[in-house]
Amino acid sequence: MVALRKPQPILDDNAFAADVLRGLSMTPKRIPAKYFYDAEGSVLFEQITALPEYYPTRCELAILRAHGKDIAGVIPEGAALVEFGTGSTKKVRLLLKHAPKLACYVPVDISAEMLEAEAAALRRDKPQLPVLPVVADFCRSFPLPKETQAAPVRVGFFPGSTIGNFEPHEAADFLRHTSNILGANAFLIIGVDLIKDTAVLNAAYNDKQGVTAKFNRNVLFRINRELGANFKPDCFEHHAFFNRERSRIEMHLASHKRQKVRVLGETVEFRAGETIHTENSYKYSVESLAALARGVGWMRAGVWTDKKNYFSVQAFRFVGVQAARMDLGE
C-alpha cells in the first residue's frame, strides 16, 4: 500500500488579487480563465461536461476508450506520468488501465479540494500506484516530486482541450514550459478541440439549462468572497460566441447597466453593455497544432480522433527545436 500524501500547495497567494486588479484595469477588461476553478467552479465544470450540448468531454472520453491502448503505447515503461490541470481523474484512468508499470502519477491542479479528493479515490482503486498530487498553477514553474527524477522519462497528459484557453503565442510558451518541467526525451499527450460547424460550437457554450452561465458568473462570487469585492453577479449576463476570424469561442460577462464595483480598495467602473472577457477556447486543425508544437521542439507521435472528427487526442515527443527543424529539412 502506498503511503497517503497530502498535496503540497505552492500557489502564490497574491497572484489572484494581482491578476484580477490588472485584468479589470485593462481595456477591454478581462479575468484569467484559470480562476474559474475554485471548489464551486470545479463542480460546475463537471456538470457542464455532462450536458447534451457540450461535446468535448464526451468525444475525448470516446477516443480514450476506443484508442486508449494505442495512446498509452507512447508511454515508456517505468515513466512518471504528470497530468496538468487534473480536475476529475476519469480521463487519465482510461490511460492508466493500459499503463500498469508507471513509476508514479503526479496530478497537478490549482483546486486543492478536488485534487485531494480525486487523488484519494485513485489511491483506493490503484494501491500499487504512487499518486503524488501537487497543488500548483501549472502555467508557472513548480518542482516535481523527487520520485519523478528516478523515472527514465516523464510523460505529460493535458486533456480537455485546455490548450485552447491560451492565446497561440501563450500555447507555444506553455509547450516550451512543459518541456522544461518534464525534461529530456519527454512525451506529451494533449486533448485538442477541432474546428467544426459554428452552430455546434455556439451551442456547446450556451446550454439551455444555463449551467455554463452559472459557471461564468461564479468567478465574480469568488472575487467577492476571496478579495472582499462587491460585485452583483446577477447584474452581469453570460455571453459566448464563436469568433470565426480568430478561430475561437469567446466567453464574456456583460454588465446590464452602468455600475461601479469595489475590489481591494479600487473602484472599477462599467458602462452598460461593457464586458469582462473571461475565456477563450481556440479550435485547431490537426496540422495547425502540429506546426505550433514543432516550432518549440515537439514532434508529433500520434493522432486519434472521434468518428465525427470533432475532437482529437495527439501525442508528441520532445526532440528540441533544432532537431524538429532538421526533421523537416529546414
320 in Cβ contact with 209 (< 8 Å)? no
pLDDT at 177 over 70: yes
pLDDT in tens, 283-316: 999 999 999 999 999 999 999 999 999 999 999 9
pLDDT bracket for residue 319 (50, 70, 90): very high
pLDDT at 263 over 80: yes
pLDDT in tens, 142-160: 999 999 988 999 999 999 9
Q: In the prediction, which pLDDT does 6 show?
A: 36
Mean pLDDT of 249-268: 97
Mean pLDDT for the chain overall: 92
pLDDT at 30 over 50: yes
Q: If you count them, how many residues does the chain have?
A: 330
- Distance (Å, rounded) from C-alpha 7 to C-alpha 127? 17
User: Please, which residues have CB within 8 angstroms of residue 193's CB and are 6 or more apart in sequence?
Assistant: 56, 161, 164, 281, 283, 284, 310, 311
Q: In the prediction, which pLDDT does 69 show?
A: 97
pLDDT in tens, 79-133: 999 999 988 899 999 999 999 899 999 999 988 888 999 999 999 999 999 999 9
Name the grid cell of 124. Answer: 483506493
The two counts, helices (H) then strands (E), for the chain are 10, 14
Q: Which residue has the higher pLDDT, 157 or 11?
A: 157
Q: Mind listing the domains of the chain with CATH numbers?
A: 1-330 (3.40.50.150)
Percent of the chain with pLDDT over 90: 85
User: Please, which residues have CB within 8 angstroms of residue 248's CB and are 6 or more apart in sequence?
Assistant: 164, 242, 280, 281, 282, 283
Q: In the prediction, which pLDDT does 4 show?
A: 33
Q: Specify whether the backbone of 309 is left (phi greater than 0), alpha (psi in -120 to 50) or beta.
A: left
Alpha-carbon dihedral angle through residues 289, 176, 63, 280, given to the nearest 10 degrees: -70
Q: In the prediction, which pLDDT does 125 show?
A: 96
Q: In the prediction, which pLDDT does 14 show?
A: 84
Name the grid cell of 250. Answer: 469567446
**Helix (H, G, I), strand (E, B), or coil: what is residue 276?**
strand
